[in-house]
């Protein structure tokens, strides 16, 4: 059967349906499936003439109800009951850009929780619009923390079995209250008429207790074990509200979580200080306030991937109550909740896709592009969920760049301002290169040949380790082999010599031939001594004593000035003088 035969069969079938009673009707009635009866929305391909369009629609028992704008977008009137079938058929025609049923759009979800009006962060990140499409169902988020209050009325319905990593049992009661605060931000029971609302309101909350005491103390090894346990027991997201960006053990656990399609989310810290370099296996979150500003206490650095509300967040507390709290510890679970909404909307998201979408849809609130204070920007739940719904796997650049320090070489003696030469390459392209002295970032360069200046006088004489990092556009990074150099800066001589005219003495009356005598000394070495009479050079020498003969008889009567200038090997100078009479 050829294309013309298919079109005739389709047309005849629709005609038969129409004769049997299918008619064009009012487009204001909702079908059982939630779309408008008797209406389609289509966009025609560029250049489609009105005559050809009329012929196409007539063949498909459709007609234009109204144009929408001036760009080939139309609402069509179609027979009741055949909206979906006609949309699918028209979508296959090359003359149609797309065809879809027209759906009713409900207003953004507004929960009825008692304290929802205080949860400023939820409308700020467009959570109500995200909830129209996803509420976190079916996604398990591990709260790797101090436990969760098992009786809290806003949490109990969403708790799933967890584990106590400290005592190796199932007692995950909260020993400090911190974990319960985190859990409420992620998934407090929402629209239940009481309490507050969580970002991912229908998520499963998995308590993984790693805290040893009421002070919330723990170790990176215990945290890593908790992440691995959570990953092995179905969690796709682990919120770890501890500052563990530089832990190799936690990084290894995060890599395991990512290998199973999950992500680990951590806070940047609350010291307001530089907090370190990027860790590509962790999603690190800084805090923002209601004005989308980053508070002074939110730690910064290359480690910051995203920002999220973290100031004055209303959440659940140990013992069944509620409070407002602040910190990057409460910004991280906002991102965890959004990630849960995304996974609920599209369970096929990979760990890389989760992170890419979170960053791609974030609102840039700082310096254009990624910056050290807000990363890619402040999280946007609605945009993230929408992108998650339409996400399809794409080829991802996973090849890391190559990078090496070309100069100076290992064991080189360095001093003053040093130009460090770096070589870097990538299969796609290097976007930036950064130089570190020890753990301190010195500077970056974005164009080859890469050269970054290092002021060695800022470091003590002795061994200094240099490393370089290279980044590509996909976020892949590589660390160079370390090059250890020896700083050898000689202390600068700033002390001037001493200079003395020993004869004649001041105010002495002279006549005939006078022997002018002088001496000089220096902490390093005297380079030159020069004697002058009335600013006319008398003689010069390069020792620490200089004697010259002056024919005073040829001088005019009156006062004359004898001057001595001594200069050391560093260029420091000293001048002294005496006056005599003729």
- The tens digit of pLDDT for each residue in 367-415 reads 888 899 999 999 999 999 999 998 877 677 889 999 999 999 999 999 9
Give the per-residue pLDDT at 537: 95
Where do runs of H (alpha helix) occur along 153-192?
178-187
Tokens found for residue 175? 């020993």
pLDDT band at 211 (very low <50, low <70, confident <90, very high): confident
For 372, left (φ over 0), alpha (ψ -120 to 50), or beta?
Answer: alpha
Of 310, 307, 309, 247, the closest CA to residue 281 belongs to 247
- At the top level of CATH, the class of 498-581 is mainly beta
Tell me the pLDDT band of 581, cut-offs 50, 70 and 90. Answer: very high
Annotated catalytic residues are: 145, 178, 329
Check if the beta carbon of residue 236 is closer than 8 Å to that of residue 343.
yes
Report the pLDDT value the prediction gives residue 426, as an integer from 0 to 100. Answer: 94
Continuous H helices in 405-557: none
Q: Interior CA angle at 269 toward 288 and 183, to 5°?
A: 75
CB 210 within 8 A of CB 218: yes
pLDDT value at residue 2: 45
Phi first, then psi, for residue 345 (nearest 5°) are -70, -35
Determine the pLDDT at residue 28.
Answer: 43
DSSP 335: H
Region 460-485: mean pLDDT is 93
249 by DSSP, 3-state: which? Answer: helix
- Looking at domain 3-103, which CATH architecture does it have? 2-Layer Sandwich (3.30)
pLDDT of res. 70: 65
Can you give the pLDDT at residue 284? 94
Query: In the chain, which segments carry CATH 3.40.50.200?
Result: 130-390
For the segment 57-85, what is each residue's pLDDT rounded down to a tens digit?
A: 888 888 887 776 666 778 888 888 888 88
pLDDT at 294 over 50: yes
Across 1-15, 140-154, 168-182, 191-205, least confident range: 1-15
Question: What confidence score (pLDDT) does residue 141 get?
Answer: 96
pLDDT per position as a tens digit, 111-130: 666 777 788 899 999 899 99
Residue 24 has pLDDT above 50, yes or no: no
Name which of 505, 489, 479 is nearest 576 in CA terms. 505
pLDDT grade for 455, boundaries at 50, 70 and 90: very high
- Is the domain 402-487 a CATH 2.60.40.10 member? yes
Please report which confidence band the pLDDT of residue 142 belongs to, taking 50, 70 and 90 as the band edges.
Answer: very high
In this prediction, residue 23 has a pLDDT band, given cuts at 50, 70 and 90, of very low
DSSP 157: G
**CATH 3.30.70.80 boundaries in the chain:** 3-103
Report the alpha-carbon distance of residue 578 to residue 534 in Å, rounded. Answer: 11
Under the banding of pLDDT at 50, 70 and 90, the label for residue 31 is very low
What's the rounded mean pLDDT across residues 568-579? 93
Task: List, for residues 346-376, the tens digit of each pLDDT value.
Answer: 998 999 999 999 999 999 998 888 899 999 9
pLDDT at position 236 over 90: yes
The yes-or-no verdict on residue 499 having pLDDT over 60 is: yes
- Give the separation between CA 582 and CA 568, rounded to whole angstroms: 33
Q: How much is the pLDDT for 103?
A: 65
Count of other CB atoms within 10 angstroms of residue 93: 16
In percent, how much of the chain has pLDDT > 70? 90
Position 149 scores a pLDDT of 94
Confidence bin at 276 (pLDDT 50/70/90): confident
With cut-offs at 50, 70 and 90, classify the pLDDT of residue 203.
very high
Q: Which residue is it, tokens 């005849």?
A: 12
Which residue intervals of the chain bear CATH 2.60.40.10? 402-487, 498-581
130-390: CATH class: alpha beta
pLDDT of residue 110: 55
- Average pLDDT over the chain, rounded to an integer: 86
| Matching residue, tokens 């709290």 | 325
pLDDT in tens, 322-351: 998 889 999 999 999 999 999 999 998 999
Burial 103-123 (b: 16+ CB within 10 A, else e): eeeeeebebebebbeebebbe
């Amino acid at each position: 059967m050829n294309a013309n035969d298919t079109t005739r069969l389709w047309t005849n079938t629709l005609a038969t349906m129409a004769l049997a009673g299918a008619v064009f009707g009012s487009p204001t009635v909702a079908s059982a499936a939630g779309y408008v009866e008797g209406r389609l929305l289509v966009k025609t391909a560029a250049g489609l003439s009105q005559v050809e369009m009329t012929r196409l629609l007539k063949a498909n028992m459709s007609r234009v109800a109204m144009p929408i704008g001036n760009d080939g977008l139309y609402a069509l009137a179609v027979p009741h009951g055949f909206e979906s079938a006609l949309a699918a058929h028209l979508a296959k025609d090359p003359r149609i850009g797309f065809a879809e049923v027209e759906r009713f759009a409900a207003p953004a979800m507004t929960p009825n929780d008692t304290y929802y009006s205080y949860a400023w962060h939820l409308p700020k990140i467009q959570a109500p619009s995200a909830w129209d499409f996803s509420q976190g169902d079916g996604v398990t988020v591990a709260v790797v923390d101090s436990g969760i209050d098992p009786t809290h009325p806003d949490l109990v319905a969403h708790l799933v079995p967890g584990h106590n990593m400290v005592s190796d049992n199932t007692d995950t009661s909260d020993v400090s209250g911190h974990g319960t605060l985190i859990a409420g931000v992620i998934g407090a029971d929402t629209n239940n008429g009481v309490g507050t609302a969580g970002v991912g309101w229908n998520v499963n909350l998995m308590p993984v207790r790693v805290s040893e005491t009421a002070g919330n103390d723990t170790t990176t090894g215990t945290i890593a074990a908790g992440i691995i346990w959570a990953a092995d027991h179905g969690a796709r997201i682990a919120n770890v509200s501890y500052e563990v960006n530089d832990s190799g053990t936690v990084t290894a656990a995060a890599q395991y979580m990512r290998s199973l399609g999950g992500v680990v989310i951590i806070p940047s810290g609350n010291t307001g200080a530089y907090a370190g370099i990027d860790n590509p296996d962790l999603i690190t979150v800084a805090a923002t306030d209601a004005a989308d500003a980053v508070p002074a206490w939110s730690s910064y650095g290359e480690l910051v991937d995203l920002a999220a509300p973290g100031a004055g967040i209303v959440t659940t507390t140990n013992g069944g109550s509620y409070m407002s709290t602040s910190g990057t510890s409460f910004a991280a679970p906002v991102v965890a909740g959004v990630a849960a909404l995304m996974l609920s909307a599209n369970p096929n998201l990979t760990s890389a896709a989760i992170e890419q979408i979170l960053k791609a849809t974030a609102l840039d609130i700082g310096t254009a592009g990624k910056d050290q204070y807000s990363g890619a920007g402040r999280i946007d739940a609605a945009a993230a969920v929408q992108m998650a719904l339409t996400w399809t796997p794409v080829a991802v650049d996973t090849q890391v760049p190559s990078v090496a320090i070309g100069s100076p070489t290992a064991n080189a003696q360095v001093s003053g301002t040093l130009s460090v030469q770096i070589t870097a390459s990538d299969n796609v392209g290097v976007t930036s290169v950064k130089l570190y002295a020890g753990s301190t970032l010195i500077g970056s360069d974005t164009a080859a040949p890469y050269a970054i200046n290092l002021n060695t006088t800022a470091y003590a004489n002795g061994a200094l380790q240099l490393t370089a990092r290279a980044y590509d556009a996909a976020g892949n990074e590589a660390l160079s082999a370390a090059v250890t150099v020896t700083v050898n800066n000689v202390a600068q001589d700033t002390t001037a010599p001493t200079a003395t005219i020993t004869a004649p003495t001041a105010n002495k009356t002279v006549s005939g031939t006078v022997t002018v005598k002088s001496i000089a000394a220096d902490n390093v070495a005297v380079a030159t001594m020069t004697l002058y009479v009335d600013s006319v050079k008398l003689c010069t020498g390069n020792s620490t004593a200089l004697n010259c003969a002056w024919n005073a008889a040829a001088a005019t009567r009156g006062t004359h000035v004898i001057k001595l200038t001594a200069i050391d090997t560093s260029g420091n100078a000293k001048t002294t003088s005496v006056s005599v009479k003729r």
